[in-house]
Structure 1
Amino acid sequence: MKLDNESVARRYGKALFEVALDKGDRAILVSELNEIKKALHQEPELLVFLTSVQISDQAKRDLLTEITKNTSELTTNLLNMLYDYGRIVNLEGVIEEFNRLNDEFDKTVRVSVTTAVELDEDQKQRLASSFANVVDANKVIIEPTIDESIIGGVVLEANNTIYDGSVKAKIERIKRLLLK
């Protein structure tokens, strides 16, 4: 039975998280994996190289060795195992699943915040603190986005839940009420 990418990412991410938890290497692994994820975004050709049938296995292994020369044993083993099992294309998904489990363990919530204007640091801090109370989190990481079409207010999206306090949404609710 062939597994879909999401299942592969879930399984490997969970196994990686459990091993990191047992070994006490979570902080190191978070840092290394996020650096690798950043590299994947900056150099999308990296995965193309590692999955190309036209590139020799030795060249791919040499690249993996270069990538992992300053990483922990766990990160090195992960990349080599994903490559050996033909799952290197799932690397980013595995990293995301690991990060999700790590955030859940630390009671950290990542929230996408959409506003009509840019928030200053004090506003971000107050928003993060208030939202942490709402969702019972120890830490809230804000990922800001600006969308002038919401007119004002704020739209928060975290864990597949949207908290829409925008002026645009309020206007839409009033319109619906008037049309009834």
Structure 2
Amino acid sequence: MSNQAVANRYADALFQLALEKGLLDQVNQELQVVKEVVQTTPAFSQFLGHPKVTTEQKKAFIQQSFKQAVSETSLNTLLLLVERNRIDILVTMIDKFKALSFDAQNIAEATVYSAQPLSTEEESQIADLFAKKVGKEKLIVNNVVNSDLLGGLKIRIGDRIYDGSVKAQLDRLERQLIAGTR
């Protein structure tokens, strides 16, 4: 079975448990912290993946690292992954859990590319407008400043891209002029 399929199964099981206990938001936030630690600390993954480190040492390491930061549900999931030697699917599982959690709560995530940082009010307006467009109750906006944009916005929600950047508008105008439709 592929790692993606295994990660999906673990994420689904954790999702069902968190939903049953009413901890979707909490577990999702905790897992995002764990993901941040894994991605920013290569030694963490190296230690957990090292064949000479025993399972008991890995479990003790996980407990020492996360006991204060995460709930029992999240901690037990991490320990289960270590016990079953599946720690390599951790990030994939966390991403799948986040997708399941957002879907259940009717939330979407948007990456908004702009030439300059957006204000809180602008982010709120974008979230309100585009949440309706994609049929979601809430939209979480992540602003990425891209100095290559001359102006305007480029918004990515899932696999959809809304390109209202000046560069895209100029490119469309150029194509129309070349094609003689304008």
- Fold conserved between structures, TM > 0.5: yes
**Cα deviation digits, residues 4-51 of structure 1 (max 9, x gap):** 232222221111101211222223312321221222123221111001
What stretches of structure 2 of length at least 5 have no aligned partner? none
Distance 1:148 1:64 in 2: 40
**Cα deviation digits, residues 57-113 of structure 1 (max 9, x gap):** 332222022134233332122112211222101111111111111111111111000
The SS at the match of 1:140 is: strand
- 8 Å CA contact 2:109–2:141 kept in 1: the answer is yes
Aligned length: 178
What stretches of structure 1 of length at least 5 have no aligned partner? none
- 8 Å CA contact 1:68–1:75 kept in 2: the answer is no
* TM-score, normalising length: structure 1: 0.91
Segments of 4+ moved more than 3 angstroms? none
Alignment match, 1:31: 29
The SS at the match of 1:119 is: coil
Instruction: Give the one of 15, 27, 38 matched to 1:17.
Output: 15
Give 1:1-180 correspondences, 5 Å limit: 3-70=1-68, 71-180=70-179
- Aligned-pair Cα RMSD in Å: 1.6
Cα offset, 1:166, TM superposition: 0.8
Distance 2:128 2:92 in 1: 29
The percentage of aligned residue pairs carrying the same residue is 30
- 8 Å CA contact 1:150–1:169 kept in 2: the answer is no
* TM-score, normalising length: structure 2: 0.90
